[in-house]
């Protein structure tokens, strides 16, 4: 009887420890997330400069290239005009670019904390390192989504009608993209020791992700080698999903929207759920690398 009692006591104690560890992990991730969000809120003067670059791309590229190549974009080669203004076409890419830069560079705080010794204090805290990595990714993605959401105010200027449903869809897509990129940034930052090396590696990763995503040009009618590279870029699927939502609210015909979408193996537009699946796989890989590499830091 006493053996049964002792066994039941151990089982209940083990069961009590598991929720407590889970609570510690969730609380640790929340604290790291809240700290990053608070730092961003207290440093609000950085919001305006970070928005200047996407707006500059939208104005200079959108107006300049739009007037140079014609009034619209076609789904094939050339820049015919089936009814999509180039500035409207580029607007989803600008949203994705803002998310990309903000999310992936938010992890620079890991390198900063390492140089000033704060990272060691976090690592010796009684919380799993996995929770720290997840909290960092959540903090960077939340900041990127909130900061990029300011650009939604430009939608009426490019002929896009805002609606509550559209805003919610865009915020969800932007958060998913931001979380994937922030997780990738945490993974890379966990292996870096200096600011200089972090910035060099990030630029090496960031520029191909941006320029192969179709943010500035249609992905149809490209040379074979370039088409393969664009299909290997996970950001391209997020840009395409955002573009579908935006163009659908810009009075663009479904045929034109379909002609600008990423084509699947059959040549038909890739379903939106398939694009979300690619983005989910990107999130899983980025988060797995972030947890593994951050847990291996000294």
Question: What pLDDT, on the 0 to 100 scale, is given for residue 40?
Answer: 83
Give domain status of residue 72, yes or no. yes
Q: What is the DSSP string of 198-251?
A: HHHHHHHHHHHHHHTTTSSS-SSS--HHHHHHHHH-HHHHHHHHHHHHHHHTTT
CB atoms within 10 A of CB 161: 10
**Comparison of pLDDT for 79 and 264, the residue scoring more:** 264
CB atoms within 10 A of CB 155: 20
Question: What pLDDT, on the 0 to 100 scale, is given for residue 204?
Answer: 87
Highest mean pLDDT: which of 5-14, 176-185, 211-220? Answer: 176-185
Give domain status of residue 21, yes or no. no
182 within 8 A of 103, measured Cβ to Cβ: yes
Question: What pLDDT, on the 0 to 100 scale, is given for residue 69?
Answer: 56
CB atoms within 10 A of CB 272: 15
Domain containing residue 211: 29-295
Angle at 249 between CA 179 and CA 89, to 5 degrees: 70
Lowest mean pLDDT among 45-54, 88-97, 258-267: 45-54
Q: What is the DSSP string of 119-143?
A: HHHHHTSSS-HHHHHHHHHHHHHHH
pLDDT above 80 for 116: no
Provide the β-strand partners of residue 72.
Answer: 85
Lowest mean pLDDT among 18-27, 232-241, 252-261: 18-27
**Comparison of pLDDT for 138 and 68, the residue scoring more:** 138
Give domain status of residue 200, yes or no. yes
Taking the whole predicted model, whether its pTM rises above 0.85 is answered as no
56, two tokens: 């500059």
- The Cα-based distances of 266 to 7, 77, 154, 271 in angstroms read 60, 20, 36, 12
Question: What pLDDT, on the 0 to 100 scale, is given for residue 75?
Answer: 43
Query: What's the average model confidence in pLDDT over 183-208?
Result: 83
Give domain status of residue 24, yes or no. no
Percent of the chain with pLDDT strictly greater than 70:
81
Count of domains forming the chain: 1
Which of 249, 274, 270 has the alpha carbon at shortest distance from 259?
270
Query: What's the average model confidence in pLDDT over 41-66?
Result: 74
Return d(Cα 215, Cα 230) in angstroms, integer. Answer: 11
Return d(Cα 181, Cα 202) in angstroms, integer. Answer: 11
Give domain status of residue 12, yes or no. no
Instruction: Calculate the CA 174 to chain-centre distance.
Output: 6
Give domain status of residue 16, yes or no. no
Query: What's the average model confidence in pLDDT over 29-42?
Result: 85
Give domain status of residue 167, yes or no. yes
pLDDT bucket at 270, cuts 50 / 70 / 90: confident
Give domain status of residue 15, yes or no. no
235 within 8 A of 177, measured Cβ to Cβ: yes
pLDDT above 60 for 150: yes
Mean pLDDT of all residues belonging to the chain: 79
Query: What's the average model confidence in pLDDT over 92-107?
Result: 88
* Torsion-angle region of 140 (φ positive above 0: left; ψ -120 to 50: alpha; else: beta): alpha
Question: What pLDDT, on the 0 to 100 scale, is given for residue 295?
Answer: 66
pLDDT above 80 for 123: no
pLDDT bucket at 175, cuts 50 / 70 / 90: very high
């Amino acid at each position: 009887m006493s053996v049964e009692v002792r066994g039941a006591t151990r089982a209940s104690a083990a069961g009590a420890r598991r929720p407590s560890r889970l609570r510690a992990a969730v609380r640790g991730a929340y604290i790291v997330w809240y700290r990053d969000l608070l730092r961003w809120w207290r440093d609000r003067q950085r919001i305006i400069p970070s928005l200047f670059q996407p707006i500059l791309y939208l104005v200079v590229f959108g107006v300049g290239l739009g007037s140079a190549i014609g009034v619209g974009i076609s789904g094939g080669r050339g820049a015919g005009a089936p009814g999509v203004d180039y500035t409207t076409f580029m607007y989803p890419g600008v949203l994705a670019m803002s998310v990309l830069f903000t999310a992936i560079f938010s992890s620079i705080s890991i390198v900063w904390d390492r140089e000033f010794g704060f990272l060691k204090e976090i690592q010796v805290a009684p919380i799993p390192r996995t929770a720290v990595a997840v909290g960092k990714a959540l903090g960077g993605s939340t900041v990127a989504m909130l900061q990029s959401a300011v650009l939604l105010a430009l939608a009426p200027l490019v002929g896009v009608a805002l609606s509550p449903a559209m805003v919610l869809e865009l915020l969800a897509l932007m958060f998913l993209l931001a979380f994937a990129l922030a997780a990738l940034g945490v993974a890379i930052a966990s292996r870096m020791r200096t600011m200089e090396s972090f910035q060099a590696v990030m630029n090496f990763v960031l520029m191909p992700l941006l320029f192969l995503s179709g943010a500035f040009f249609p992905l149809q009618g490209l040379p074979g080698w370039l088409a393969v590279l664009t299909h290997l870029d996970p950001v391209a699927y997020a840009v395409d999903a955002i573009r579908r939502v935006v163009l659908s609210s810009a009075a663009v015909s479904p045929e034109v929207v379909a002609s600008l979408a990423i084509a699947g193996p059959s040549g038909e537009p890739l379903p939106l759920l398939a694009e979300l699946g690619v983005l989910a796989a990107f999130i899983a890989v980025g988060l797995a690398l972030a947890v593994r590499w951050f847990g291996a830091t000294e």
